[in-house]
Amino acid sequence: MGEKYLTIPTGWFTLNLTSREMFVLSEIVNITNYYGKCVANNRHFGELLGMNKVHVSRSLNSLKEKGFISMNIKVGSRNHDREITITKMIRGGYQNDAEGLPKSLETKDINNIINNILSFLNGLLDKSYRSTEKTKVLIKARLNEGFSEDDFKYVIKVKSEEWKHDDKMCKYLRPETLFGTKFEGYLNQNDKTEKEDWRKYAR
């Protein structure tokens, strides 16, 4: 089983967050981006981050007090299962609502952007991926981080060329891999000139 990596945006280091709080918040973001919600228990955070349950509990309560998350016990749960919701997110030092999109996208048809991205993916790979809730969550998360439709298409193109004829890697040409937390790394793996040429071509 491969190692798991946490992504800590540089803007978070200017906030009133401890390292433990940043680690816990990063995992909450990862789970929320992938599944659309976070129901991880304290044991999950402790085992993943090498923290004891007391530190996990303190970090979660502190994040709640600082307004980053809310925690609610699921109605009817026998084991007091909890759902953690992100109530605000920090992007590069700026504070935004978790569900908010950049102002440049507020007047655009987000569903149209999602459909364009999936049409490009399906056309290039001869697949039939649909606009499921999980896929929408992933794409909206990346749009919320300021990435554009052209960025998605560039990542699809780059990873397709790299993985399409690799028997081991071709299975990863799917939304949950391409549009997940490694998206920015895929976008920047080639030189700037190639990206600029691609954006001109894409238009």
Query: What does R_g of the chain's alpha carbons equal in angstroms?
Result: 18
Say what percent of the chain tops pLDDT 90.
30
Q: How many other CB atoms sit within 10 Å of the CB of residue 154?
A: 21
Tokens matching residue 157: 């193109």
pLDDT at 120 over 50: yes
For residues 32-71, one letter each, b for 16 or more C-beta atoms within 10 angstroms of the residue's C-beta and e for the rest, the string is: bbbeeebebebeebbebbebeeebbebbbebbeeeebbee
Distances (CA, A) of 143 to 25, 44, 47, 51, 169: 19, 28, 31, 32, 25
Q: What confidence score (pLDDT) does residue 188 get?
A: 87
Question: What is the largest distance, in Å, between two alpha-carbon atoms of the chain?
Answer: 56
Higher local confidence (pLDDT), 86 or 34: 86
Work out the angle at residue 90's Cα, subtended by the Cα atoms of residues 43 and 146, and round it to the nearest 5 degrees.
Answer: 115
Least confident interval from 76-85, 87-96, 155-164: 87-96
Q: What does the alpha-carbon distance between residue 169 and residue 133 come to, in Å, rounded to a whole number?
A: 25
Query: Which 8-state DSSP code applies to residue 36?
Result: S
Segment 92-115, tens digit of pLDDT:
433 444 444 444 444 346 788 888
Q: What does the alpha-carbon distance between residue 79 and residue 113 come to, in Å, rounded to a whole number?
A: 40
Q: What pLDDT band is residue 90 in, cutting at 50, 70 and 90?
A: low
Domains and CATH numbers, the chain: 10-96 (1.10.10.10), 103-202 (no CATH)
Q: What pLDDT band is residue 65 in, cutting at 50, 70 and 90?
A: very high
pLDDT at 148 over 80: yes
Q: What does the alpha-carbon distance between residue 183 and residue 131 come to, in Å, rounded to a whole number?
A: 18
Residues in the chain, total: 203
Residue 156: closest CA among 110, 202, 111: 202
| Average pLDDT score over residue span 50-61 | 93
Least confident interval from 85-89, 132-136, 160-164: 85-89
Q: What does the alpha-carbon distance between residue 119 and residue 113 come to, in Å, rounded to a whole number?
A: 10
Strands (E), 68-171: 69-73, 82-86, 89-91, 94-96
List the beta bridge partners of residue 69: 86
Quickly tell me which residue has 């981006």 as its tokens: 33
